[in-house]
Amino acid sequence: MTWDEIIAALKSDMEAKHAAREQALKSSRALIQTSSKCIKHIHRKQFAEAEILLAQAREIAREARAAMAGHPEVEYAGYLQDSEKEMVEAAGCLAIALNQPLPSPSELGVNAASYLNGMAECASEMRRSVLELMRGGDLDTAERMLHQMEDIYDDLSTFDFPDGITGGLRRTNDALRAVIERTRSDLTLTRVQHQLLTELQRDRA
């Protein structure tokens, strides 16, 4: 192979890698936006719309991974990691809201670190739904969701590995613990208030 041929081959390879990187960045932005919209619809209890958006997010992620295939420098550079966490968060929130089994990493096509951190953020995000249920008086469903948040936290706490492997899971899970403690306190106080109100109404009857 001549020098000119070497340069031409290298340039072609770099152009392909650059195209894959640009696609990954574009897909990452679209994935974050779509996942965020999905979560908003979940909180509004617009579950059919949320399911459509989650399906779109999974397709965006699939196309991005396909574009990066064959370019390990791009594939493992972390361009999609944060956006995939958002997708995991949306998928987990929808499953909890609908009282369905949580999706697996293989179902979502994500790596372990993205999945674990995404599920931690999902559990934190569900505090909003728990508070909304409390305001509406549906304390049993709020309790069920809180238990799921606690289960996620407890299981993620067993992943005692370096941050370089888990993507900083320890910090994310520490933040989740604080969210759970506040939520448990809020729910306990609300239950006491409801019990007192029920007793007052019974005494007046």
Locate tokens 């509004």: which residue? 44
Give pLDDT tens digits for 32-66.
999 999 999 999 999 999 999 999 999 999 988 88
Q: What is the pLDDT of residues 17-34, one digit of tens each?
A: 999 889 889 999 999 999
* 190 or 203, higher pLDDT: 190
The Cα 132–Cα 142 span in angstroms is: 8
Residue 100 and residue 109: Cα distance in Å, rounded?
19
- DSSP-derived secondary structure letter, 103: P
Q: Residue 78 pLDDT more than 80?
A: no
Higher pLDDT, 199 or 95: 95
Q: Domains of the chain (ranges plus CATH)?
A: 1-110 (1.20.58.190), 115-205 (1.20.58.2140)
CB atoms within 10 A of CB 80: 24
Work out the average pLDDT over 133-148.
Answer: 95
